[in-house]
A and B are shown apart, each in its own frame.
Chain A
Amino acid sequence: GAVVSQHPSWVICKSGTSVKIECRSLDFQATTMFWYRQFPKQSLMLMATSNEGSKATYEQGVEKDKFLINHASLTLSTLTVTSAHPEDSSFYICSASRGESSGNTIYFGEGSWLTVV
């Protein structure tokens, strides 16, 4: 079964509102999680690295005030898209590393489709 779970799988929100996407590691602790964005027919682009107990590290060009990341516990990271606009509509996917004892295996969540109307 899935070891990294995202919720919700699908979300539609109105332009100007905020929406939160959760990424959970189900049976392991993840000090670091990663958030990616994937536009239709394109590759995964790393948005930010989510660090438990500290600020996220954002990739160049990603607005940190727009894409708020909170990694409050070792099993949960959240991505909040603030003041969403139609151009924020995309597929968002997270990943987490299981740790050195598991060969630092990376697990991906199922992804979340965001549609801003």
Chain B
Amino acid sequence: AQTVTQSQPEMSVQEAETVTLSCTYDTSESDYYLFWYKQPPSRQMILVIRQEAYKQQNATENRFSVNFQKAAKSFSLKISDSQLGDAAMYFCAYRSYNNNDMRFGAGTRLTVKP
């Protein structure tokens, strides 16, 4: 079974600075998807960024980018120019290529200081 590990329960960043959230995963599959989701206090799951494992290029969405290291099974999220609205729980998630259920990491609570 696939497992996802987020080793940082909490992170803090100064507004306008950059922060990196870590995620590692374990799988024997070669094709899969990786995601970062943001969960604000409303509990709504918001997709931040998505990476297909077969793509070598790191995904980027505006201020959010990932560092995908397939051999190392690492998938970190970098948030640039952090904003107060970025404060939330962030979950790393794994999804098999042929299966739509997701496995989530334990989450990282991000605090943004003004």
Q: Which residues of A contact B (CB under 8 A)?
A: 32, 34, 38, 42-46, 49, 91, 93, 95, 97, 104, 106, 108, 110-111
Residues of B within 8 A of A45 (CB): 104
| Inter-chain residue pair count (beta carbon < 8 A) | 39
CB-CB nearest 9 A-B residue pairs: A108-B45, A97-B100, A43-B104, A44-B104, A111-B43, A43-B106, A43-B107, A34-B101, A46-B101
Question: Could you tell me how many residues of chain B have their Cβ less than 8 Å away from some Cβ of chain A?
Answer: 15
Query: Can you name 9 A-B pairs with beta carbons within 8 Å?
Result: A34-B100, A38-B43, A91-B43, A93-B45, A95-B102, A97-B100, A106-B47, A108-B45, A111-B43
Residues of B within 8 A of A97 (CB): 100
Known: A106-B95, A111-B43, A111-B44. A42 touches B106 (CB 8 A): yes
Q: Write the chain B residue with the least CB distance to A30.
A: B100
Tell yes or no: B25 within 8 A of A by CB: no
Q: Compute how far the CA of A48 lies from the CA of B43 in the bound complex, rounded to whole angstroms.
A: 20
Tell yes or no: B103 within 8 A of A by CB: yes
Q: Write the chain B residue with the least CB distance to A112.
A: B43
Tell yes or no: B75 within 8 A of A by CB: no
Assess whether B43 is in contact with A106, with CB atoms less than 8 Å apart.
no
Question: Measured between C-beta atoms, what is the minimum distance from B45 to chain A in Å?
Answer: 4
Q: Compute how far the CA of A32 lies from the CA of B95 in the bound complex, rounded to whole angstroms.
A: 14
Q: Compute how far the CA of A42 lies from the CA of B89 in the bound complex, rounded to whole angstroms.
A: 10
Known: A44-B91, A93-B43. A106 touches B102 (CB 8 A): yes
Q: Compute how far the CA of A6 lies from the CA of B106 in the bound complex, rounded to whole angstroms.
A: 23
Residues of B within 8 A of A43 (CB): 91, 104-107
Residues of B within 8 A of A104 (CB): 100
Residues of A within 8 A of B47 (CB): 106
Contact with A along B72-91 (1 / 0, CB 8 A): 00000000000000000001
